[in-house]
Amino acid sequence: MKRFNLVLGAVLIAAGATSCKDEAKETAEHNVDHYVVFVDSVNGLDAAERAANWAAIDAAYQARVAEAEAAMTTLKEDEAAQKRIDESKAKYDAVRMQAENEAKAKMEAEAAKTAGNPMADKFFGAGNVVGNDMTFAWVNKDNILSVYQKFYETFDADKDEYSRQDLDKVKAWYEALDNRKNTVEKEGLSSSDNNKIAGIKLKFAPKFRWERLTAKGEENQAAKDKAN
């Protein structure tokens, strides 16, 4: 994160004092310089740091490239400046392609963790990665209510079909979703959605306890029958 902050800081270099006559030209030249420095700094980051901060990097890049392109209306026939911009664009395009490929590979790896798990797909929707770490990073303040609602409706519809092992999975997912909710609350979850989620949890808890209890009883009975 320290190096990433230095990258963003590189674009905040203050313009030097200029004469009124040359102020526009020098400002344009500084904007081109800032753009080139920014792209070079992004190239200097390691892949993991770029991936962790890519959204902010790309947003900053769009602002810098817009300034550099606008600068060319002042610099006009300055071929050297245009060449520097073009070269930096090519560098950034290569970095962006690498970042996109890395992000795609990561998503595919996460998706593979839940491949062949129809139960997870049923609870959370196909394509919504649960993963072994169960971070639920795709759950946010805008969709968390619908995630809880789908979770509850799926459980309620199929609860009589779950084995004790299935219920262990449901419990782990539910607790992980609750942990995600603690984070989402800090990110602006509305009071209305929070209250509706609380209502869903109140309905879910007693039904889940009952299913766990009866599943354990059925498991014990099955063991006794087998022993006899």
Every domain of the chain and the residues it spans: 2-113, 118-227
Cα 186 to Cα 198: distance, rounded to the nearest angstrom: 16
Q: Which of 76-90, 148-162, 190-204 has the lowest mean pLDDT?
A: 76-90
How many angstroms separate the CA atoms of 1 and 53, rounded?
A: 8
Residue ranges in 45-78 assigned as alpha helix (H) = 47-52, 54-75
Rg (CA), the chain: 27
Quote the percentage of the chain above a pLDDT of 70.
79
Name the token pair of 143.
């969709």
| Cα within 13 Å of Cα(226), Cβ side | 6
Q: Average the pLDDT over 34-53 and give the result.
A: 86
Interval 100-158: pLDDT, tens: 888 777 776 666 655 557 888 889 887 676 767 788 888 999 999 999 999 999 999 99
CB-neighbour burial class of residue 183 (10 A; exposed 0-12, middle 13-18, buried 19+): middle
CA 88, CA 80: separation in Å to the nearest integer? 12
Phi, psi (deg, nearest 5) at residue 162? -80, 140
Tell me, yes or no, if the pTM score tops 0.95. no
Structure confidence by residue, pLDDT tens digits, 45-71:
888 888 878 888 989 999 999 998 988
